[in-house]
Structure 1
């Protein structure tokens, strides 16, 4: 399950409608984590509301997936921001920072695997999900680009066109959600951080 309690996750600020929407997001995430799929009926029953209430918040299944992905992407941003930073790079060094980034993304991929798989199955047919995915890709690219630019300024990352370095790193990171990584966890825990370290190290210039 994504978290231990849907009720606790729904207790944020806002009026009744906002709390109900949050509860439905959380219940949808829980159902997807358990089964890999969901229906409005199952989620509404889990949340203790009517099916009409579900569809008053999410006009279509894609809108419900979009809302769940918003929670997912918010968690990615929050957790990766803690390790994908110049402060972490200066304190821990390049390889430890890259290892922490890879570990964080791998863990989150595991927590949200069912949702990500469901979204990928729908993305070609859904303009809504394609646009959301592109927005998240741009955000992730910008965060990595900032780390590389600041790392270059501090002498911790090699010289080179920052956008090219970023594109290479993001290509590797985006490939972490594959069965090969799950089947061979040492690839994420050791091989990829070492590979990226050799690629970005100032000694590689």
Structure 2
């Protein structure tokens, strides 16, 4: 929640309790967890939850902001990697991992990529911009097919994340599935 003045101590405690309970509930039940239950477990009314987080995506955005910021920082660092395609592949696998933070997050991210009114839109597009820089470097090196676009990468990472959510070995399949998808992006 962005405010022009600091929250009162009680409002800050409510905000933090809501985040803690949302993290727990989304971790257990996915992004469709009951907001009413989150508010109840935080010891506040649903109106307090909505005052801090007007939508489910607003709550998700706050919970994921650090992960997305870290993902963008990693992309900037990987621009110096000696192998542009290896850097891109590493970053995409990590994006797929981030997208599996909460069951059902993949759908929220995919929708946010094209919904400018979504609170997740800016974060998702920051990820797409990071992917575009890594992609351009790999394409300039002749390692990735020229027709691949940054949106393609985002959708493919989301596809891997969706598959991982439904795979018997879950997170254990991210590396393998990412490598399989990535092989289709290479020029040779």
Same fold (TM over 0.5): yes
Alignment partners' CA distance in 1, 2:20 and 2:116: 19
Which of residues 165, 172, 178 in structure 1 aligns to 2:162? 178
d(CA) in 2 for partners of 1:151 and 1:95? 5
Within the alignment, does 1:34 sit opposite 2:28 as a pair?
Answer: yes
Q: Which has the larger radius of gyration?
A: 1
Which position in structure 1 is the counterpart of 2:3? none
In the alignment, structure 1 segments of 5+ residues that lack a partner are: 1-13
Contact 2:160 2:178 in 1 (8 A): no
Instruction: Rate the CA distance shift 1:106–1:198 in 2: closer, same or farther, 3 A.
Output: closer
Distance in 1 separating the partners of 2:19 and 2:165: 28
- Aligned match for 2:7, one of 15, 30, 34: 15
User: Does the 8 Å CA contact 1:181/1:188 hold for their aligned counterparts?
Assistant: no
Q: Contact conserved, 1:21 with 1:57, CA < 8 A, in 2?
A: yes
- Match of 1:30, SS state, is helix
Checking the alignment, whether the CA contact within 8 Å between 2:88 and 2:138 is kept in structure 1 is no
Which residue in 2 is equivalent to 1:105?
A: 95
* 2:44 corresponds to which of 36, 44, 49: 49
Mapped partners of 2:16, 2:142: distance in 1: 42
Distance 1:141 1:198, change over 3 A: same
> Which runs of structure 2 are paired with 1:156-171 in the superposition (5 Å)?
157-158=143-144, 160=146, 164-171=148-155
CA 67–23 in structure 1, closer or farther in 2 if over 3 Å, else same: farther
Question: Whose helix fraction is larger, Structure 1's or Structure 2's?
Answer: 1
| Deviation, structure 1 residue 83 | 3.2
In the alignment, is the contact (CA less than 8 A) between 2:88 and 2:135 conserved in 1? no
Unmatched tracts of structure 2, length 5 or more: 1-5
| Alignment check: 8 A CA contact 1:176 1:188 kept | yes
Cα offset, 1:175, TM superposition: 1.1
Q: Matched residues in 1 for 2:46 and 2:181: separation?
A: 50
Distance 2:116 2:26 in 1: 17
CA contact (8 A) 2:39 2:46 kept: yes
Moved more, 72-81 or 191-200: 191-200
Q: CA deviation at 1:70?
A: 0.9
Give TM-score, length-normalised by structure 1.
Answer: 0.62
TM-aligned CA distance change 1:166 to 1:39, over 3 Å: closer
Alpha-carbon offset, residue 97 of structure 1: 2.2
RMSD: 3.8
